[in-house]
Homo-oligomer: A and B are copies of this chain.
Amino acid sequence: MSSTLGKNLEISIFGESHGNAVGVVINGLPSGEYVDKNLINQYLKKRATGKDKTMTARVEADEVQFLSGVYNDYTTGTPLTMVIYNVGQHSKDYSNIATIARPSHADYSGFVRYKGFNDIRGGGHFSGRLTTPIVMAGSLCMAILKNKGIDICANIIEIGSVKGQRLGNRLDKNTFDILREKQIQAIANEDKMREEILTARENLDSVGGRIECVVTGIKAGVGSPMFDGVENNIAKAIFGIPAIKGIEFGEECLLKGSVYNDSYKMDGGKPVTVTNHDGGINGGITNGMPIVFAVKVKPTPSIARCQDTIDFKKMSDTTIEIKGRHDPCVVARAVPCVECVTAIAILDMVMESEIYG
C-alpha cells in the first residue's frame, strides 16, 4: 500500500507539501517505551532547511504534535499519531507550473497516476516534505533500538566529484557522536563537499552523492530468507525517500571470491568475520556483524535553468524555469532520512525476531 511500511510495526504516512499537515500513524509499537521528544527534534532539525547557503532558505519550523498513542510520555502500544501542521508555504511560487512537467520530478507520472486530482502544490504528496514524518517515526524507533543496544549512523561518502571515506572499522560511539555534530555528516572532506555544493548553486546546477549507513549492535539471526530478508526490507524502505536511486550492501561486491569471502573466526567466544564484504547479511539474515550499505542520491531535479519540457494537459512542448527556493544538493538532508527509515525497517525485523528468536 502506498505510503505505508512494515509488518509488525506499520507506519502510515500522510500529508502534502502545502496541505494542512504532514504526519504519521505508527501501529504496533511496543507499549511502555519512553517517547524521546528531544531525539525526535534533533533528527528533525538535521533534516530541516535554512541552516546555511548549501540549503534552501525556506524555513520549516517543525513542531511535532502527538494526537494519540502517548500517555504520560510513554507509548501506550495503541496507534501513535504525530503531525506537523504546515505553515508559511509560498503556494504562489508554484502556481505557474501546474500542468508543466518539471523534468525528473513526479509531476507527469503523478498526473497520470491520479488522473489530475492530486494536490500539485509544492509537489503535494511527492514532496521531499513528506520525509518529515519518516524522520518523526524513525527517530522514535531509533530511541527504542538504542535501548536494545542497536545504533544507526550514516556517513556521506560522495558529493558530486568529491569523495569522502568509508567508515570501515570506525563504528564506535565516539565516531558517531563526532559525525552527528557535523552539518555535512561526513567522516572526511566535508569542506570540499560544501564547496562542491556552493559551486553547483552558483552554476544554477545541482549535485547528488552517496551515503553510507551502518547498523551496529544487531545480533545474528535477524531476518528471513528470500523476500523477507534484511536486504529486501531495507531496500523497500530506503526507496521511500525521494531522490534515492540505488542501494548496495557491503562496501563493494565486484571482487574475486577469494578476496570477497568473509572468513569467520572466534573472537572473545563469539563468531566474527575478518572482513565484512557481505555487509553483515547472509541469506537475508544477519550474521552478527554490523549491517553496512550505501545509497545513491540523485542531483536535485529543481534547478534554476530553463529546461525543455511539456505541458501535459495541452500535450505540447514548452519550457520551464523553476522559481522558488531549492537545495542545490539534498544529500546532507537525506542523511537523517536514511538513518530514520532504516531504524523503522530494523525495529520491525527485530520485533519479528522475538517470535522465532
Contact = CB atoms under 8 A, between A and B. Distances in A.
A267 to B, nearest CB: 10
A209 B252 CA distance: 11
Interface of A: 1-5, 7-8, 10, 12-16, 19-23, 25, 27-28, 30-32, 65-69, 71, 74-81, 83, 101, 103-110, 112-119, 124-126, 130, 158, 160, 200, 203-210, 220-229, 231-233, 235-240, 242, 245-250, 253-258, 260-266, 269, 271, 273-274, 277-279, 281-288, 296-301, 303, 305, 307-310, 312, 315-317, 351-352, 354-356
B3 A228 contact: yes
B2 A27 contact: yes
A28 B65 CA distance: 25
Nearest to A206: B257
A202 to B, nearest CB: 13
A187 to B, nearest CB: 19
A1 B28 contact: yes
A256 B79 contact: no
B248 A104 contact: no
Contact of A226 (B10, B130, B305): B130
B206 A256 contact: yes
- Pick from A69, A74, A254 the residue with the most CB of B within 10 Å: A254
B3 A225 contact: yes
30 contacts: A1-B28, A2-B225, A2-B228, A12-B25, A14-B67, A14-B78, A15-B68, A16-B68, A16-B69, A19-B67, A23-B68, A31-B113, A32-B115, A76-B114, A77-B115, A78-B124, A79-B125, A105-B283, A106-B282, A106-B285, A108-B271, A109-B282, A130-B226, A227-B236, A232-B239, A247-B247, A248-B296, A253-B298, A257-B300, A266-B310
Contacts of A281: 109
Given A76-B124, A282-B108, A2 B227 contact: yes
A314 to B, nearest CB: 10
Contacts of A27: 1-4, 12
A19 to B, nearest CB: 5
A209 to B, nearest CB: 7
A291 to B, nearest CB: 12
B308 A274 contact: yes
